[in-house]
Amino acid sequence: MAGRTVHALLLMALGALAGLSVVVAAAWTLTEHSPRSMAERFSNEERLFDLSLTVLRACVGTDNLEPEPDSTAHQLLATLASVTGSLVPAVLLGIVLIKMFALRPFVWRRRASISHAWTADFPGYSRQHADSDDAIIAVRFYNRFDNLSVVDLRARAHLRYLERSPHDGSLVIYKQWLRVLDAKGEPAEERSWLAVERGAPFTVWIPVEAPVDGLPFRRIQGKDLSGSHGVKLLVRLTARTVGLGTEVADERWFDLEAGDFELGRFVPLQPDLDKDVWRWEGWTDFDGLIPPRPNGEDPGQAPAPRPQT
């Protein structure tokens, strides 16, 4: 529910109530004491429509159904509508509260991109791996809120996988913390940012410490995944909000077998301090990769290593 808009949730609730009203109106017509045949009862479309509206008003608590005397079925239907009418205001209030407190300020890039380690945005790390075929994973996201200031952002990553137990052959869940590049471009347990600008993209760089020639990759930071199942990469963010004084957290799972990774370097944004952040070049390709080079290099592969400078 937290992933849907308030309008979508309210429309879903209204649609459910409308459907329930039609069902109750049909059951009400079926069980009423009347000398008319069933065909005659349901052929009166205007009466059925009016009865459905009456039931809908009863289900939202603004009207009541008047059951026929000595009709158990009508008593049950009227009770159902009355109980529903008492619960609907609480449900609608819950929807509003969920949207108020389910803060998800970050928007994630659809896939994690894998390129050569020297493509990382750290000059020292890039020079260190200029002649290396090792790969690096880039996870991108940005803060979408204009009226919410976020500070002290921290990002961590870990690997989740399943392997057969050597004792009974059952699947056992393992988790392994992964090193990410810190602000200096050095492997560390977490990456932190003091301030989180509105709309500015952020990248979590996760060294693979092994070449990646194709997907799915089978080795990361010394762990051989060739015998593992259900491999997923988790990137978790935690931050504090200014003014509210609360902590917000978000996370993104990347499934190794579900196409959540792609080979190539992501399309960067072009910051322009003279323009609003949402008008920077590159937003339309936020989920895209840098196009292939003129020499015909495969866009799905990481670019070839460049000489050290």
Task: Round the average pLDDT of the chain to a whole number and report it.
Answer: 86
290 has a pLDDT exceeding 60: yes
pTM of the model: 0.68
Q: Which helix (DSSP H) or strand (DSSP E) does residue 292 occupy? A: none
Instruction: Dump pLDDT digits (tens) for 110-144.
Output: 999 999 999 999 999 999 999 999 999 999 999 88
* Helices and strands of the chain, counted as H and E runs: 5, 14
Close Cβ partners of 281 (under 8 Å, ≥ 6 residues apart): 269, 270, 272
User: 198: closest CA among 87, 131, 279, 117?
Assistant: 279
For residue 53, the 8-state DSSP code is: H
Q: What is the pLDDT of residue 101?
A: 59
Q: Is the bond into 216 cis (omega within 30 degrees of 0)?
A: yes
Q: What is the pLDDT of residue 99?
A: 62
Q: What is the pLDDT of residue 303?
A: 42
289 has a pLDDT exceeding 90: yes
Contact yes or no for 114/137 (Cβ under 8 A): yes
Q: What is the pLDDT of residue 140?
A: 96
> What value does the mean pLDDT take over residues 95-101?
64
Q: What is the pLDDT of residue 299?
A: 44
5 confidence band (pLDDT: 50, 70, 90): low
Contact yes or no for 141/237 (Cβ under 8 A): yes
Residues 226, 216: Cα–Cα separation, whole Å? 10
109 has a pLDDT exceeding 70: yes
Contact yes or no for 214/238 (Cβ under 8 A): no
Residues 39, 52: Cα–Cα separation, whole Å? 18
296 has a pLDDT exceeding 70: no
1 has a pLDDT exceeding 60: no
Which segments of the chain does DSSP mark as H helices, in order? 6-31, 38-43, 45-59, 72-101, 123-128
Residues 204, 108: Cα–Cα separation, whole Å? 11
Instruction: Dump pLDDT digits (tens) for 149-208.
Output: 889 999 999 999 999 988 888 999 999 999 999 999 999 999 999 988 888 899 999 999
> What value does the mean pLDDT take over residues 80-108?
78
> What value does the mean pLDDT take over residues 19-46?
86
Q: What is the pLDDT of residue 47?
A: 86
